Amino acid sequence: MEKIVVLTGAGMSADSGLKTFRDSEGLWEGHDISQVATPQAWEKDKELVLDFYNQRRKQAYEADPHRGHQALADLEWKYEVSIITQNVDSLHEQAGSTDVIHLHGELSKVRSEENPSLIYEIGGKAVEVGDTAEDGAQLRPHVVWFGEPVPQMQKASAIVPEADILLVIGTSLVVYPAAGLTDLARRGIPKYIIDPAKPELVDYSGWKHIRETAEKGTPPLVNELLDS
């Protein structure tokens, strides 16, 4: 069974109505990133940060996967599929994908601010100041903030070289370190990128660029792969 590795970005979730990264003004849902998505912001105003992520969590919990998410799950009929996503929602899992690595964490989970290994699934619930983990420490969002290491990067870096086919969906490859994962793919394998924008690739050789949104561009490509 051939292995397909899929790297998905903000455009994948945007088609389900979620804004998962900065817009052209450097804002996320009207908030300055430095005020809600850094360790410094957390230390300065935990209530503001928790409220921001409570709103994002509620939005994500109410969102539904689109045809693109479902198409990627269908790939498992014929291929071994690993999805590496920059998104913090669970739309891939809701659609039926069984092997998903979240580089930037998961909105539906929280963890102890003192012990990163104490992680709890909370679904769409809100978290308030005073809610604590079993070690007594405040619960914080289980997401990777700007300035923090990306714990799953090592695992993702080991998976990309195993790909027989590489798909990049909903990202123009400008966000590092995730964008650097494409450089780890073996030479000569089929590589596809689905995104309306021109990708920021150093070497375009071997890539097929499908200039569509994730929802529109993914199902036809999946059908092509399943029929091949």
Active-site positions? 104
Residue in 24, 11, 5 with CA at minimum distance from that of residue 212:
11
Residue 176, token pair as written in the block: 């590092």
CB atoms within 10 A of CB 138: 18
Residue in 14, 184, 15, 1 with CA at minimum distance from that of residue 84:
184
Residue 25, token pair as written in the block: 């003004």
Q: How far apart are CA 63 and CA 53, in angstroms?
A: 15
Paired residues of 5 in beta bridges: 82, 166
Return the SS3 of 116: coil
- In contact, 61 and 16? CB cutoff 8 Å: no
Would the CA dihedral through 142, 173, 215, 161 be positive or negative?
negative
For 162, list phi and psi in degrees, rounded to 5.
-80, -10
For 58, list phi and psi in degrees, rounded to 5.
-65, -45
